[in-house]
Structure 1
Amino acid sequence: MYHWQSEGGKKASVDDMVLLTKITEEAITDNLKRRFMDDKIYTYIGPVLVAVNPFKQLPYFGDKELEMYQGAATYEVPPHIFALADTMYRNMLIDSDNQCVIISGESGAGKTVSAKFIMNYITKVSQGTKKVQHIKDIILESNPLLEAFGNAKTTRNNNSSRFGKYIEIQFSSGGEPLGGKISNFLLEKSRVHSLNSEERSFHIFYQLCAGANAAMVEELGISEPDYYHYLSQSGVFKVDNMNDALDFQETLSAMNVMGISEQIQNDILCIVAAILHMGNICFTEQGNAAVIANAEYLEFPAYLLGVSSEWVGRKLVSRVFDSKWGGQSERVDVTLNVEQAQFTRDAWTKGLYTRLFDYIVDTINKAMVTDANLINLGILDIYGFEIFDKNGFEQFCINYVNEKLQQIFIDLTLKSEQEEYNSEGIQWKPISYFDNKVVCELIETKRPPGIMCILDDTCATMSAKTEGADMDFHCKMESQVGSNAHYQKFNQGFIIKHYAGNVSYQIEGFCEKNRDVLNSDIIEVMQSSSKPFISSLFPDVIQSGAKKHPTTAGTKIRTQANELVTTLTKCVPHYIRCIKPNETKKPHDWDSQMAKHQVEYLGLKENIRVKRAGFAYRRPFHKFLQRYAILSPETWPSWSGRAEQGIHVIMKAINMDQDQFQIGKTKIFIKDPESLYMIEECRERKLDHYARVLQQAFRKFFSKRKCIKTAIEGSDLFLNRKERREHSLNRNFFGDYIGMDFKPQLATLIPRREKVLFAFTVQKFDRKYRKSIRHLILTKINLYLIGPVKVKKGPDKGKMVEVIKRKIDLQNVTQATLSTLQDNLVLIHVKNDHEMIVEVEFKTEFIMLLNRKMKERCNRELPLNFTNNFTYQVKKLRWGSNAQRKVTFTCGECKEPEFTSYGSTLAVKVPRGISNTSRGTQGKPQVQASRRAP
């Protein structure tokens, strides 16, 4: 596990807080602060990732990090969200088990960004065909589209998700993403018409105002945001570091990727614009009845929606009720007052927006749908816990879902883990923790009735007029849950003692928002639209006098939350616990009290204690044997004895310390992650050994043909151009002459996805022609020069470690220069950079492989220049010394090449070699003749 020492002698922090010397909230908060101040935003608690929002862009998410974390063990590299994503992806492929990541934290803690990082990583590391790439594009492009219609600025977060989503990416057994599905939860639709101070509505409204072209402005009647009542309430129209016009183009591009036609895109924008225009419709009072203040304001939204402006006006100020007299029923028009008319207008716009949002989610799902029964990887990005000055029904539902997620975390990381140790007979010291199940029960239980059931019961008995319903609900709660220790009543609402703190809820509007009913009058108007897309958003079957009560918003969110819990518990879970460091949204601003509060309610201390005393890995006996039987000849290829005995045989074969594992009744438990990685490395080496055995057999069978082909390919590059050393072609080309598999210090420097093609220890010449030993490594992507350096700081000060001295992308290699004699010097030319001269004994193999990979990667061969006098550029020093060097070659009487330097010139005397027309014994004339044959 990595440690780091910050500069100036400051106290060191730890990458994994299981290693903290003191386990207190203060120590945890202090460790996170030290890392945050040095832009180290990720920290582990065993497999759990703690992420602190840096409130700025960090340079830790590029191709370099992508390569670094792919296939790497977590103890080999610093904590990172890519490490967690890679673990999920590899575990899914290894065990064929569904995986999920639960991202939790309060609003503004960085959950949505974390979800995007995981999606980006997974789509980049997974391979696939052109069809697979299309699915990847849909997965990635769904982000800007959903954010445009589902995110908004709040006082706590400039890009706050105002809905919850669970994204499932479906993979083939080979790891290719072939489909996906998005489940969305509880869009905060009231944001369409009602804004708090310093907040904005959904991004799409501002994007349309800022990014509409001239034709859109004319067709949709677009004005500045302050013209629209719905947007002008808060006085905030722009957001720091957000370009609405540019984002609008990205939104339109995302619609194209989803396959949304141009006509439907136009209809979508018509709906967005119509909502803004409808918000400007005002009412006046005449004889206790509402009338439209200015009928002209009806024309444009009606035109955009393709409906009658007269009908829109009538339905805004009146409503139809079914009335029964004896056995007869009739429909009666009832006039509305101004307040009721405003409520109807707002219900209309938010109902329209909600159905549009559901269409967008449904369209994304249709674009990703697959019939295959695949393994999947789920990402839960759901609204964070919210405590505002005024909290209503939306915050109540949001915080309820967060309670459910906290319950999952407790059940799977604290409760079930300890229960499993007990049931498996593992030696274990129990850890105490707060179980928030009691809070979930207060909200959701049916018997005795919880708050949601009391709310539904109140709504079921409401009349058409809602006055007094909220107070009825308030009274019923006091009588039925008033004695609950986590509930408290006050004049205008109630308090729930959540796991994240006490929240006061205002009861105003609870019942109406819970009913979540769109009047049949409005539905009839929308079904009459001349635009097929708009009318299709309202497929409702209207039944006169229907007795069945519609499903309430509370029931929907309770059902969705429990279905989500069921889905998550069927996956192997991973966790990201997001921390918001301040309310100012500024980098390097740390509010210790705020951070400590989150550390407390997220249960990080208890999590550390459980992980410290517990086991990093557990696996059923049969699965462990199936994967690791190869490690012992006694268990491979099959084991007929008891599973526990077979596991002991394996552990003995790899010299695993007895205190690093325990055998339970059905599972093996391994203490530290390092021990698991050691087992994995042993397995990889074993597999590699068997692979080499197979390769050797393969090589033996095809050796003669392959050797001749390889010799010809190598000799063709030098034929008639350079003298040859004896036996330089009369051997098999091996590639890895260093033995990278047995040098982990070197192997960890090269990303695992970059297969090593050639590895050899060479002599590298510096600007003064001094030789230094270096490791020259060629992969399919890069050319590396690796050498030792002395550690200057930290606990390893003075120790020599191997580091990458130079990394050259093959695309930047312009040519190679060699002499015409039999020496081993190779000069590599690099685009817009200094050149590199090395002495490579197996230069023919190196140049051949370099040329081969450049043809594959760059679609061009490696230009070769043969001359006995050349100049080249060395790295220029700051004080401007001569950056050009010259090398001359002569043939003389000597047994080995002799090197003499004077000034900026190196003279190389080389003994006479074999003629440059020779191919060696593996490329004799008969082979050449066969090449000339038709």
Structure 2
Amino acid sequence: KGQKGGKAMLHWQSYNVMQSGVDDMVLLSKINESSIAENLKKRFMDDYIFTYIGPVLISVNPFKQMPYFGESEVEMYQGAAQYENPPHIYALADNMYRNMMIDCESQCVIISGESGAGKTVAAKYIMSYISKVSGGGARVQHIKDIILQSNPLLEAFGNAKTLRNNNSSRFGKYFEIQFGSGGEPDGGKISNFLLEKSRVVTRNPGERSFHIFYQLIEGASQDQKSSLGITSVDYYYYLNQSWSYKVDDINDKSDFQETMHAMDVIGITAEDQAQVLQVVAGVLHLGNVSFKEVGNYASVENEQCLAFPAFLLGIDQNRLRDKLTSRKMDSKWGGKSESIDVTLNVEQASYTRDALSKALYSRIFDFLVESINKAMVKDNQEMNIGVLDIYGFEIFEKNGFEQFCINFVNEKLQQIFIELTLKAEQDEYIQERINWTPIEYFNNKTVCDLIESKLNPPGIMSILDDVCATMHAVGKGADCTLQQKLCMQIGTHEHFDSWKQGFVIHHYAGKVAYTAEGFCEKNRDVLFTDIIELMQSSEIPFIKALFPANLNAEKKGRPTTAGSKIKKQANDLVSTLMKCTPHYIRCIKPNETKKPRDWEDGRVKHQVEYLGLKENIHIRCAGFSYRRVFGKFLQRCNPISRQSDQVG
């Protein structure tokens, strides 16, 4: 093995003959943002994209395929000590796997960084490495195949081209790889968070919707195109608004074949695969149903546009038209209650159409996640390695409710990092009565409280839920009320400002101005009973099953809002992560051009600052680089003790 490892090292060093900067930034002679950024730049330009701060891995997105992820590198890092080889994501993955086996404890890796920094690729490398170094027979190989094939499938349905990233995850994913006592992966589970379903119906200019729409149009067979009514990409209203169809480094046609292969591996039947594509096509055709105003009421502009979505979704065409242009309302009069049909205006009809499209798509996504989980389910959990790949921090020209939720989750992840690497480390020295000069850092708990607090003063999410509960109609009126209440109740908070179109939060990663328009509507996230009943009338059992009868059952108290749901998910995620031994990858985006060897100093320094790398280095330098709990030390070293019989 040593000989193979030597060959692997030569293989790598043929690309990088000279030492570049320092491998571990605790060795820097000067510790400031400029010297950290300069060291990362030096290494980046020499094709070293990985650097350590002690056990923390810093990864810079190279925007190109790097040569050192082959079988020889897998051999080189397997079982090796961290500093034996150049910094690499394989070293971190191997450390996680070995720690799990030695301590019989679950591990997790928290991958953080802004959109386009390379988090999804990092997650794939970790899963790939663990798959290669863990043993097992046919059942285990099947689980490994599912783990690896879940990536292209969920990327097809959950990723999209944004202004900042050509393959941006528009959902959060926590993937637990479950292991048997022998260290073989024999199960798994995916938890998904907040799919950005609004992307189905609208997005920023220059961006795309989810990849699967373009894959279907480019990659479907002639028979599929004929049966699904697939034409050119610019025909569909949901796709042609942003005038962005092709992506330089994405081949939609071949990716479609990969997506279909992934469904095969996961065990989704051919019939269910066809139904999934039918719903995707149905959503596209639904978007082409437009409305005109006839006497202040909405009327379908072209009746022919109703035929294909109705056919694909297995519902009656006339009923589809009626449910898009009117709504059943409960009316109480003189102690009696009756249902009346209220005609909608053009804006309301368009909203109803879009709500149905988003509901169909998000339920298909949930079906796929559920299918993956069913294929990997195991009865008893022993140990697992969790890989967190979640949407990065986002600042766009126009930031809405989606960016607010995404940035809140990132704020929570930053809080974990601070709690476990900056705060807990220093608290331990004080507790152990070791002489220690406190190192200052920004604790973002105050920002998390600003967003999620239930107490006085209430957080933004609590105020938003109150407005949604008390306003009968969402829209501009509710959004204006939200702005007013935010100013009244938290206007003096040091991390909050108001502006004419919304509000500003001073996040750990910078100030973000949020546009209040649409906040209440998106937070309420209601799918009207009429629409659920319409879909339950489908002649296609698969589609009917996406809308179970108890879906809209009345609950006591307030209905669950999108904001309260993501808050619960974020806090559940934090609880899950805190039960594992954590490892960290901090991803850095070197430029906005998405080009190799392009380095923007200002952007990198900003990320170095808000990721707290300088403080992290200071604490590692000032503290003890290696500590082990006495019980674990005893358990591991006991067998080599002369007194092992007595000590045991």
Superposed displacement of residue 617, structure 1: 2.8
Superposed displacement of residue 327, structure 1: 1.8
- Name 1:134's counterpart in structure 2: 142
Contact 1:514 1:554 in 2 (8 A): yes
- Name 1:578's counterpart in structure 2: 587
Task: Determine the C-alpha separation between the residues in 2 that align with 1:542 and 1:65.
Answer: 49
From 510, 516, 527, the equivalent of 1:501 is 510
Superposed displacement of residue 544, structure 1: 8.8
Task: Determine the C-alpha separation between the residues in 2 that align with 1:271 and 1:571.
Answer: 38
2:493 is the alignment partner of 1:484:
yes
SS in 1 for 2:628: strand
Superposed displacement of residue 302, structure 1: 0.5
- Name 1:603's counterpart in structure 2: 612
Distance change >3 Å, CA 593–CA 10, structure 1 → 2 = farther
SS in 2 for 1:555: helix
Superposed displacement of residue 542, structure 1: 6.9
- Name 1:558's counterpart in structure 2: 567
Q: Deviations over 1:224-245 (max 9, x none)?
A: 1111011111111111111101
From 54, 57, 63, the equivalent of 2:71 is 63
Q: How does 1:744-783 map to 2 (within 5 A)?
A: none
- Name 1:813's counterpart in structure 2: none
Superposed displacement of residue 63, structure 1: 0.3
Superposed displacement of residue 548, structure 1: 4.1
SS in 1 for 2:644: coil
2:247 is the alignment partner of 1:244:
no
- Name 1:532's counterpart in structure 2: 541
Q: How does 1:287-298 map to 2 (within 5 A)?
A: 287-298=295-306
Distance change >3 Å, CA 331–CA 547, structure 1 → 2 = farther
- Name 1:312's counterpart in structure 2: 320
SS in 2 for 1:281: coil
Of Structure 1 and Structure 2, the greater helix share is in 2
- Name 2:419's counterpart in structure 1: 411
Distance change >3 Å, CA 48–CA 319, structure 1 → 2 = same
From 375, 378, 403, the equivalent of 1:367 is 375
Given residue 496 of structure 2, which amino acid in structure 1 is its aligned partner?
Y
- Name 2:5's counterpart in structure 1: none
2:178 is the alignment partner of 1:170:
yes
SS in 1 for 2:550: coil
Percent of aligned positions with the same letter in both sequences?
A: 65
Contact 1:182 1:361 in 2 (8 A): yes
Distance change >3 Å, CA 293–CA 423, structure 1 → 2 = same
SS in 2 for 1:496: strand
Structure 1 runs (4+) greater than 6 angstroms displaced: 4-11, 542-547
Task: Determine the C-alpha separation between the residues in 2 that align with 1:450 and 1:73.
Answer: 46
* Count of aligned positions: 637
Contact 1:109 1:579 in 2 (8 A): yes
Given residue 86 of structure 2, which amino acid in structure 1 is its aligned partner?
P
Higher RCO structure, 1 or 2 (CA under 8 Å, sep 6+): 2
- Name 1:120's counterpart in structure 2: 128
Distance change >3 Å, CA 428–CA 637, structure 1 → 2 = farther
Contact 1:103 1:578 in 2 (8 A): yes
Superposed displacement of residue 547, structure 1: 6.5
Q: Deviations over 1:448-478 (max 9, x none)?
A: 2100000000000121454400011111100
From 379, 395, 402, the equivalent of 1:387 is 395
Superposed displacement of residue 580, structure 1: 0.1
Distance change >3 Å, CA 303–CA 7, structure 1 → 2 = closer
- Name 1:44's counterpart in structure 2: 52
- Name 1:450's counterpart in structure 2: 459
Superposed displacement of residue 613, structure 1: 1.2
SS in 2 for 1:598: helix
SS in 1 for 2:627: strand
Task: Determine the C-alpha separation between the residues in 1 that align with 2:553 and 2:384.
Answer: 44
SS in 1 for 2:378: coil
Contact 1:629 1:638 in 2 (8 A): no
Task: Determine the C-alpha separation between the residues in 2 that align with 1:56 and 1:8.
Answer: 16
Q: How does 1:676-695 map to 2 (within 5 A)?
A: none
Further displaced range: 301-310 or 536-545: 536-545
Given residue 281 of structure 2, which amino acid in structure 1 is its aligned partner?
A
Q: Deviations over 1:664-695 (max 9, x none)?
A: xxxxxxxxxxxxxxxxxxxxxxxxxxxxxxxx
From 293, 302, 318, the equivalent of 2:310 is 302
- Name 1:437's counterpart in structure 2: 445
Task: Determine the C-alpha separation between the residues in 2 that align with 1:338 and 1:611.
Answer: 61
Q: Deviations over 1:816-840 (max 9, x none)?
A: xxxxxxxxxxxxxxxxxxxxxxxxx
Task: Determine the C-alpha separation between the residues in 2 that align with 1:505 and 1:240.
Answer: 31
Distance change >3 Å, CA 542–CA 365, structure 1 → 2 = closer
Contact 1:5 1:12 in 2 (8 A): no
Contact 1:152 1:161 in 2 (8 A): yes
Task: Determine the C-alpha separation between the residues in 1 that align with 2:466 and 2:645.
Answer: 64
Further displaced range: 292-301 or 539-548: 539-548
Distance change >3 Å, CA 81–CA 284, structure 1 → 2 = same
TM-score w.r.t. the length of structure 2 is 0.96
Superposed displacement of residue 637, structure 1: 3.2
Task: Determine the C-alpha separation between the residues in 2 that align with 1:232 and 1:249.
Answer: 24
Task: Determine the C-alpha separation between the residues in 2 that align with 1:281 and 1:190.
Answer: 17
Task: Determine the C-alpha separation between the residues in 1 that align with 2:221 and 2:16.
Answer: 55
Given residue 542 of structure 2, which amino acid in structure 1 is its aligned partner?
F
Given residue 551 of structure 1, which amino acid in structure 2 is its aligned partner?
T
Distance change >3 Å, CA 270–CA 229, structure 1 → 2 = same
SS in 1 for 2:51: strand
- Name 2:484's counterpart in structure 1: 475
- Name 1:867's counterpart in structure 2: none
Contact 1:5 1:13 in 2 (8 A): no
Of Structure 1 and Structure 2, the greater strand share is in 1
From 573, 577, 580, the equivalent of 1:568 is 577
Further displaced range: 525-534 or 613-622: 613-622
Superposed displacement of residue 584, structure 1: 0.2
Superposed displacement of residue 492, structure 1: 0.7
SS in 1 for 2:646: coil
- Name 2:222's counterpart in structure 1: 214
Superposed displacement of residue 636, structure 1: 2.5
Contact 2:291 2:298 in 1 (8 A): yes
- Name 1:233's counterpart in structure 2: 241
Contact 1:168 1:182 in 2 (8 A): yes
Q: Deviations over 1:716-760 (max 9, x none)?
A: xxxxxxxxxxxxxxxxxxxxxxxxxxxxxxxxxxxxxxxxxxxxx
Contact 1:322 1:544 in 2 (8 A): no
Distance change >3 Å, CA 419–CA 545, structure 1 → 2 = closer
Task: Determine the C-alpha separation between the residues in 1 that align with 2:14 and 2:89.
Answer: 22
- Name 1:187's counterpart in structure 2: 195
TM-score w.r.t. the length of structure 1 is 0.67
Contact 2:128 2:148 in 1 (8 A): yes
- Name 2:4's counterpart in structure 1: none
Further displaced range: 620-629 or 80-89: 620-629
Superposed displacement of residue 74, structure 1: 1.1
- Name 1:97's counterpart in structure 2: 105
Task: Determine the C-alpha separation between the residues in 2 that align with 1:280 and 1:522.
Answer: 18
**Structure 1: any 5+ residue segments left out of the alignment?**
641-934
Task: Report which of the two structures shows the higher radius of gyration computed on alpha carbons.
Answer: 1
Superposed displacement of residue 332, structure 1: 1.2
Task: Determine the C-alpha separation between the residues in 2 that align with 1:7 and 1:297.
Answer: 57
Task: Determine the C-alpha separation between the residues in 1 that align with 2:618 and 2:87.
Answer: 20
Task: Determine the C-alpha separation between the residues in 2 that align with 1:451 and 1:615.
Answer: 40
Superposed displacement of residue 412, structure 1: 0.2
